Amino acid sequence: MDTRKKRRTIQGIVISDSMDKTIVVLTERLVKHPKFHKYVRRHVKYMAHDEGNICNAGDKVLIAESRPLSKGKRWRIREITEKAK
């Protein structure tokens, strides 16, 4: 029996690739405001490990949770779903 849990995955857009083997991925979600009942856009930035420096700014990527790789890096790239134009 497999005791490993399935790792969480998130889809987002690469906004920075200036670091070596690291990218910054922006993810957005819509949250309903409790009082005004309008949808508000919330965003979070994740630092992800890019071993081969293959991602560029504007790419859509799928990142997966991993062990801590550095102070702020806890994600790895699983796949590039769409390249930037």
pLDDT digits (tens, 9 = 90+) for 7-51: 899 999 999 999 999 999 999 999 999 999 999 999 999 999 999
Q: In the prediction, which pLDDT does 4 show? A: 77
Q: In the prediction, which pLDDT does 1 show? A: 63
Q: Is 66 exposed, middle or buried (0-12, 13-18, 19+ CB in 10 A)?
A: middle
Can you give the pTM of this predicted structure? Answer: 0.87
Q: What is the largest CA-CA distance in the chain?
A: 48
- C-alpha separations of 64 from 19, 34, 40, 45 in Å: 19, 30, 25, 14
Gap between the Cα atoms of 62 and 75, Å rounded: 10
Structure tokens at 36: 């005004």
Lookup result for tokens 């405001």: 33
